[in-house]
Amino acid sequence: MRVDATASRCTGCKLCQLACALHQFGENNPKKTAILITSDLLNTGHYRVAVCDQCGLCEELCPAGAVSKVDGAYVVDPEECTYCYICVNECPQGAMLVPSGKHTPVKCISCGDCVELCPTSALAMVE
């Protein structure tokens, strides 16, 4: 399972970012999230939603072997990560993020909390 986004439904409320930060870090802090909402209103009339599609490229590219698949989602092991940020720079979705105050990249782990909280159904769990 993975999170899928429909940008045309996103209102930019960022509740998904709060849900993610609470799940991943136990903090009500949208700067610590694994989902990125940016405005593309001038070009497309929509927000851009960057969320991991679980493609596995991060695992392939990680020279330290810090990324592995756990319970169907790729996760970064902070003990193994060397902060080279190859995964961040090469992520095709732009969904490998380095949260404020952290060094280790984070990404969506497909927990689904953001999907449950999204008021416009812009996010959905898919196979």
Cα separation, 32 vs 81, in Å, equals 18
Per-residue pLDDT tens digits for 13-62: 999 999 999 999 999 988 889 999 999 999 989 999 999 999 999 999 99
Q: How confident is the model at residue 101 (pLDDT cuts 50, 70, 90)?
A: confident
Judge whether 31 lies within some domain.
yes
The phi-psi region of residue 43 (left if phi > 0; otherwise alpha if psi is between -120 and 50; otherwise beta) is alpha
Judge whether 126 lies within some domain.
no
- Are the CB atoms for 109 and 75 separated by under 8 Å? yes
Q: What is the CATH number of the domain that holds 21?
A: 3.30.70.20
Per-residue pLDDT tens digits for 64-98: 999 999 999 999 999 999 999 999 999 999 999 99
Cα separation, 117 vs 48, in Å, equals 18
Give residue 31's pLDDT: 86
Average pLDDT, the chain: 94
Judge whether 125 lies within some domain.
no
Whether 100 shows a pLDDT value over 90: the answer reads no
**Overall number of domains in the chain:** 1
Judge whether 39 lies within some domain.
yes
